[in-house]
Amino acid sequence: MSTPDPTQGARPAHRTVLLHEAVDHLLTDPDGTYLDATFGRGGHSREILQRLSARGRLIAIDRDPEAVAAARGIDDPRFTIVHAPFSELGRVLQECDAEGVRGMLFDLGVSSPQLDQPERGFSFRADGPLDMRMDTTGGPTVAEFLAKASVDDIARVLRDYGDERAAVAIAKKIVARRDAGNPVARSAELAALVASAVKSREPGQDPATRTFQALRIHVNAELAQIESALGQVLRWLQPGGRLVVISFHSLEDALVKRFIQSHARPPAVDRRQPFVPGVTAPFRPELREVARIRPAAAELAENPRARSAILRVAERR
């Protein structure tokens, strides 16, 4: 079951979640090369650069053009920024002539700057075009998806990515409005429509929370992006290097947890099958789980958006 999107809360100033915990676990060698796979507004990258030696190197990527533009303001010869989704991390590292990296950092989900700009359409708390693309240079917007998708397709997205119990009712209202010649095109319109379809909700949670989360995950193919990136980690992470991932809902965290466990523990054995010596190669763990961290009470008090964050750390053997 996915948890509500923590980034849909009140609007504090942007703070990097689990900043020191993430970098403490990531940076094991100040002379090494590191990858910040989700630059955002650079909180983690700037902290990494402060701790790197003159021989160290940081390669950062982000699919959001605004994040890339912000990164270009960092004047440091040790730093490189590339506009790309993190599913292309292998290509980026190859083009940057990196033979491998000492650590990789992923800070998943939507960033506070994205959420706080009404024109991006991520938040139901401010009206704007129903976009929600992390990369605004291409791909369909949420409005474009809703303008064409069937009731079944919309309901499936809301169920699979938002665990929305009222998925069918919401989908029917979206399509009925579209068929009446008034398709949903703005975030405030969608939020009001969802509120009219949802009969009850957990205390303190806006009725539109799960719908906005689900549609954002869908148009950005977020889970497929994570799976693709994780599939490239072992190719580029050096022995002793760290994988550090911050997730904000259970769908993301489940992918990360499963990936780490699949490379840290031997696969389940079917005891009904006879054991044949020399046929099955012995299992050699490729990762070692190092830490699982939640934000401390002090951080939660200062930054409500951190409340669902979970940081996982694994080390390459």
Q: How many domains does the chain have?
A: 2
Question: Do both 142 and 230 map to the same domain?
Answer: no
Does residue 105 form part of some domain?
A: yes
Give me the DSSP letters along the chain. -PPPPGGGS--PPP--TTHHHHHHHH-S-TTSEEEES--TTSHHHHHHHHHS-TT-EEEEEES-HHHHHHHTT---TTEEEEES-GGGHHHHHHHTT-S-EEEEEEE-S--HHHHT-GGG---TTS--BS---SSTTSS--HHHHHHH--HHHHHHHHHHHH--TTHHHHHHHHHHHHHTT----BHHHHHHHHHHH-----TT--TTHHHHHHHHHHHTTHHHHHHHHHHHHHHHEEEEEEEEEEESSHHHHHHHHHHHHHHHSPPPP-TTSPP-TTTSPPP---EEEEEEE---HHHHHH-GGGTT-EEEEEEE-
Question: Do both 106 and 244 map to the same domain?
Answer: yes
Question: Do both 184 and 257 map to the same domain?
Answer: no
Does residue 130 form part of some domain?
A: no
Question: Do both 202 and 75 map to the same domain?
Answer: no
Question: Do both 72 and 161 map to the same domain?
Answer: no
Domain stops at, among 219, 235, 252: 219
Question: Do both 87 and 235 map to the same domain?
Answer: yes
CATH number at residue 182: 1.10.150.170
Does residue 124 form part of some domain?
A: no
Does residue 121 form part of some domain?
A: no
Question: Do both 11 and 57 map to the same domain?
Answer: yes
Question: Do both 175 and 241 map to the same domain?
Answer: no
CATH number at residue 70: 3.40.50.150
Question: Do both 168 and 304 map to the same domain?
Answer: no
Does residue 155 form part of some domain?
A: yes
pTM over cut 0.75: yes
Question: Do both 211 and 263 map to the same domain?
Answer: no
Does residue 201 form part of some domain?
A: yes
Tens of each residue's pLDDT in the chain, 317 residues: 333 343 333 344 568 999 999 999 999 999 999 999 999 999 999 999 999 999 999 999 999 999 999 999 999 999 999 999 999 999 999 999 999 999 999 999 888 888 889 999 999 999 999 999 999 999 999 999 999 999 999 999 999 999 999 999 999 999 999 999 999 999 999 999 999 999 777 777 899 999 999 999 999 999 999 999 999 999 999 999 999 999 999 999 999 999 999 999 887 655 666 656 655 566 789 999 999 999 999 999 999 889 999 999 999 99
Does residue 197 form part of some domain?
A: yes
Question: Do both 241 and 202 map to the same domain?
Answer: no
Question: Do both 190 and 288 map to the same domain?
Answer: no
Range of the domain at 206: 136-219
Does residue 125 form part of some domain?
A: no
